[in-house]
Structure 1
């Protein structure tokens, strides 16, 4: 037996297992579509969370109420098993570490996919694991949740940021006028972890993990009987599964938590400065008002909301592993920390609140003592002065920082990389490839032909610059961006009529059929192609597709391209069309989201293009702009309804 590198293991697994399933299990999953719909029918409650007793909280109420598209959620994402298999073959853990453990070989992987001699029914280990995650044979741990929650959960599960820093700037979310929108983007992350920490969901996730742990124990027994004969070191796949999921949760929670807290700090800084510098209104006699003025109320209300968001992030964005087979709690968790690591997030909330009160009082006293030491006397400030408000709020912020440091030792260290960046960087430098690395290409078809060469060249420049607008603060992105390439294909030379998306799809599938992987200079993205049609070209070069209302965010109306789903068959449609209503195998996406959002999620194997469609369908131009929040959806739908009404009136009304 021989060791295999992660890239080879991954290729073999994908070749054996379309979408991560053996043929037998894949057929079962297809058959179970009807069962899934039936499950959805009896799980779908009067309110989307009533079957798990979940009603949200003040911070997440808007997201709870916005669950108007229920979807079936396999709580433990299916692609996690594929990533784990890659780790068994030699890849790093999600947190970038590499434990000293024996790797499994390609032959052993084949054994995991074949009939297991220790199972009387003759099933394979991987079949049984697939069934445990959620299938016709074991649907007991499937849940229903709103698409708005589930789509964000899918991103966060893979350690992908809710939004790139460049996208945050493009949407101008740090502007005071967009404060409420910014806060909803932060609480959208909290809503996901509130869902995952709800008792029923938490137990379903734990039980799924433990059932899979049992299968890996069986697999270890099977492989070790052969390894003992060959004199190879024994493997403990179950222990490695626990190790892997611990690292997975670490990346998942720390990246999400850091993203929320960093943006809380970004939003808070200018408000704190404005509060401190603000001079309150005075009465006619020159005395200050005895209560805060309107500006101070506005500042303090916003700061209070940010304190609440940060607090929610601190005690909700956790994935407790009590009851997970093989898990040993950390010293911090074992200490109890007065309930901060309780399984129930509501108990954590209570403990956090009490601790914050005490810590804030201590911090206020400490700041007063520092004043005395600096000034030789206690500096008395009027209750309604900007400085006094600043001092009180700053004391609470410092108290929060201290609790956070006690709870999350990792929050002070470097931010862990997004796993998809690690994976692509590893694939580039596959041992079988030349040292300088190998490009990763995405095909782009030109299907609009009315431009001059100069006009087209200018467009290509604009689009490529827009598509490269990501990576700020994302470790490893600079190295990766140099290897991400567009493969430009002129539709005219291929005989494709202008705007013929199906023609481009057929052409590229033919090219893929003729190509051999070993002969390719580039690793190709094979899930989708991009198309530049007349509308895409106009979105970059004209104002036709700009927002028509001031309630819309201009950042959601920048240049777009069309993504075409190479795996979609219009004759067969989707297996669950009710979860992506109206999907036709194509979707407009903002140019800035091509690599860091769409391709990132495709590489993580967490989505198909159709999974993103519901997030684009409310846009007036039906463009995918990344995750949306309830206030944005309301604005988009209102504008869309107005446009439809105007169009109808323009045609005489009907």
Structure 2
């Protein structure tokens, strides 16, 4: 039954959306209704967050203007709030959530890995939500001339309803967007690749951790909480109207079907969503802090008396404070959400949704408990062994033990993260299962074009291809078993030998002509493709020369992370038109229509966000545009971006005489043209850095 419903949902989506990738109803945006012979034809259409003409208006409204001093940030998150360089208009409940909720109403799999026990919708009823109830509901519920999905999508944040939009910096918004869909800020393997457990990179590592806390400081700001709650409740009201209409229709059919509760499904879905978001983020923070604590503890245990004690004490205290902030800040309270009933275990003080009360209570309890434990421990120790490595380790570890105990009181017992995988993997496995009866295992793929110089030999190309495929598959080693299930379904479709394509424009033309052909239909993502150009080829065949500053400055510049200069590939936006004015010039300045991305992030980040429809290449561009090679490396932090900008300024100055000379002499060969295009921000006279 579940497979039949899922298949029907996919078929309905094909009728509504055409041949779209992934065939889900989770396309971000709103419903556009057109009239054709008296029939409503509705299709999903992506709507940009805010057009430039509306940006200034939004930034001056009370509802959309979040002033920095109003946010209660800590000394550990201050650098994130001080580094907001790009203002982003944030629809607080991410727009793709409506589509994901629709999917859930048919298969019942909650974001936290559990299964609902509430009655689900049939495929026919899903389609009715896309049509005004005036066309299908029995009287007196046939008065609504706007579809339920249009109403709910508008409430998320649109031109029709902008009352609850917010302005936030790109650095915080981009991470909030990832956490919303359960994507880790940084995988454990990427953490290692960036060498963030190295004591020399301690401050940068802490920035990655505190970036997550800054997101929840934002989400727990009173005005933001209020806007999210009001958005949820407005959507709940529209779903309640749909409940009445659908249940009246079921009663009229007289088949003894159970009563539907879309409002109950909505509350359960969002409660599970918040649980997944907070549990995944909190677990990631604690794991990374544990990695930073282990070498500190080892060093302190064997440290001769009086040496580096101050440095150890300062860093250990910093990690304890960050852990405490994570424990009482990383959550999203649902007080006031329609249908939500708080747990009876919430008691005054600890486990209190009021952060100010919680902060004070937590601090008092921690200090009282740890002093008592330390005093008791020291009294029971033999004075001759008080400075032994074992006793030192046990003594300093009392602080983490006390934090673990308080965490249970604040947050309750932790749920095992192994019970569910990242949502994008769940989604693909569900789609593959839903289509299993109609044919072979489903594939999810990306086209890859060869657009290198013709001087590359076939043997060199085969070597590079093998290296690239190995790099692209190097993800998910720290994930759960479902990763191994999805990896065989992720396919690269090489278009190299037979197409005779040697530049990216030719690749784009070929892709646009063939993406919906029988050869590639339902196998490729239709809006994004990959290309191996000369820079990508060189990054795999000669990775030591990825950037001239890397080898010389990594030790003297701890923020210049080695994992940010690994081989990369070019991802191209097939539908980007350089002749059209950009819709979001302030949010993604100078977006060129393509993005360089590290090979091992293609599936786990780029494709994951395309599946979840939470971000596009244009959304990711601001995270890459300050990189010395304009490469997307994932989440960035202030110190990391600072050293990039510094290096870019140096590069610009070094290149200025050369490029001016070349321009004057008009000696442009293909290599120089390519270099000037690549070094666009460094060309003298340009202001688009």
Give 2:476's match in structure 1, choosing from 471, 478, 481: 471
Distance 1:574 1:52, change over 3 A: farther
1:279 is aligned, of 304, 316, 319, to: 304
What's the CA shift for 1:250? Answer: 0.7
Query: Is 1:610 aligned to residue 618 of structure 2?
Result: yes
Q: Identify the residue that residue 103 of structure 1 maps to in structure 2.
A: 120
* 1:49–1:144 CA contact under 8 A, matched in 2: yes
Residue 93 of structure 1 pairs with residue 73 of structure 2 = no
- Are residues 1:314 and 2:320 paired? no
Change (3 A) 1:109 1:3: farther
The equivalent residue for 1:240 is: 265
Does 2:514 correspond to 1:505?
no
Contact 1:94 1:248 in 2 (8 A): yes
- The aligned residue for residue 235 of structure 2 is 212
Task: Give how far 1:426 is off.
Answer: 1.6
Cα distance in 1, alignment partners of residues 74 and 14 from structure 2: 41
User: What is the Cα deviation at residue 311 of structure 1?
Assistant: 0.8
Secondary structure of the residue aligned to 1:278 is coil
Contact 2:29 2:46 in 1 (8 A): no
The secondary structure found in structure 1 opposite 2:586 is: helix
Instruction: Check 1:330–1:516 CA distance in 2 against 1; reply closer, same or farther (3 A cut).
Output: farther
Query: Does the 8 A contact of 2:351 with 2:411 survive in 1?
Result: no
Counting matched residue pairs gives 625
Q: How far apart are 1:11 and its partner, in Å? A: 5.8
Cα deviations by residue, 1:102-139 (Å, 9 ceiling, x for unpaired): 22122212211111234756111111111111112211
Per-residue CA deviation, residues 191-219 of structure 1 (Å, 9 max, x unaligned), is: 00110000001110111011111111111
The structure-2 alpha-carbon separation of the partners of 1:159 and 1:197, relative to structure 1 and needing over 3 Å to count, comes to: same
Q: Select which of 342, 345, 354 maps to 2:364.
A: 354
Q: Does 1:403 align with 2:406?
A: yes
Cα separation, 1, equivalents of 2:45 and 2:120: 30
Which of 53, 73, 77 matches 1:60? 77
Q: Secondary structure in 2 aligned to 1:479?
A: helix
Q: Choose the corresponding residue for 1:264, options 280, 286, 289.
A: 289
Q: Distance in 2 between matches of 1:587 and 1:329?
A: 45
Among 316, 319, 325, which residue is 1:303 paired with? 316
Q: Which among 563, 566, 578 is matched to residue 586 of structure 2? A: 578
Conserved? CA contact 1:75–1:142, under 8 Å: yes
Give the 3-state SS of the residue equivalent to 1:564 in structure 2.
strand
Partner of 2:451: 447
CA distance in 1, matches of 2:82, 2:563: 25
Cα contact 1:115–1:124 (8 A) shared by 2: yes
Q: Distance in 1 between matches of 2:49 and 2:167?
A: 19
Shift in Å, 1:609: 1.0
> Which range moved further: 166-175 or 409-418?
409-418
**1:428 counterpart residue number:** 432
Q: How far is the alpha carbon of 1:39 from its aligned partner?
A: 3.1
Deviation (angstroms), 1:21: 2.1
Which of 113, 121, 128 is the aligned partner of 2:130? 113
Q: Distance in 2 between matches of 1:4 and 1:572?
A: 43
Q: Secondary structure at the match of 2:606?
A: helix
Asked if structure 2 preserves the Cα contact closer than 8 Å seen for 1:173 and 1:179, the reply is yes
TM-score of the superposed pair, with normalisation by structure 1: 0.89
CA–CA distance in structure 1, aligned partners of residues 50 and 194 of structure 2: 41
1:557-636 matches, within 5 Å, as: 557-636=565-644
* Aligned counterparts of 1:28 and 1:605: Cα–Cα separation in 2: 10
Question: Offset at 1:4?
Answer: 4.6
Change (3 A) 1:27 1:179: closer
Pair 1:417 & 2:440 matched: no
Q: 1:456 aligns with which of 457, 461, 476?
A: 461
2:54 corresponds, among 33, 36, 39, to 36
Alpha-carbon distance in structure 1 between the residues aligned to 2:505 and 2:69: 43
User: Which residues of structure 1 form unaligned runs of 5+?
Assistant: 281-291
In 1: Cα distance, 2:50 partner to 2:568 partner:
36
The 8 Å contact of residues 28 and 46 in structure 2, kept in 1 or not, is answered as: no
Please name the residue that 2:99 is paired with: 82
SS of 1:588's equivalent?
strand
2: CA distance, partners of 1:75 / 1:31: 11
Rate the CA distance shift 1:581–1:514 in 2: closer, same or farther, 3 A: same
Match of 1:525?
A: 525
- Cα displacement string for residues 385-408 of structure 1 (whole angstroms, at most 9, x for unaligned residues): 877764543111110011112333
Moved more, 218-227 or 503-512: 503-512
Q: State which of 305, 324, 343 in structure 2 corresponds to 1:330.
A: 343
Q: Which residue of structure 2 aligns with residue 223 of structure 1?
A: 246
CA drift at 1:619:
0.5
Cα distance per residue 1:316-348 (max 9 Å; x no partner): 101111111101112332x34x243223x3332
Q: Report the CA distance shift for 1:250/1:2 in structure 2 as closer, same or farther (over 3 A).
A: closer
| Gap change, CA 1:152 and 1:399, over 3 Å in 2 | same
Please name the residue that 2:31 is paired with.
22
Alignment-derived partner of residue 24 in structure 2: none
Q: 1:41 to 1:100 in 2, by over 3 A?
A: closer
Closer, same or farther in 2 for the Cα pair 1:306/1:323, shift >3 Å? Answer: same
- Is the CA contact (8 Å cut-off) linking 2:65 and 2:166 kept in structure 1? no
Q: Does 1:136 align with 2:136?
A: no
SS at match of 2:597: strand
The 1:612–1:10 alpha-carbon spacing in structure 2 relative to 1, beyond 3 Å, is farther
Residue of structure 2 equivalent to 1:154: 177
Question: 1: distance between equivalents of 2:142 and 2:198?
Answer: 60
Q: What is the CA-CA distance between 1:433 and the residue it aligns to?
A: 4.0
Equivalent in the alignment of 1:287: none
Shift of 1:525: 2.2
* Secondary structure in structure 2 of the residue aligned to 1:212: helix
Alignment check: 8 A CA contact 1:55 1:64 kept: no
Q: 1:91 to 1:526 in 2, by over 3 A?
A: farther
1:251-279 deviation per Cα after TM superposition (whole angstroms, max 9, x unaligned):
10000000000110011011111101101
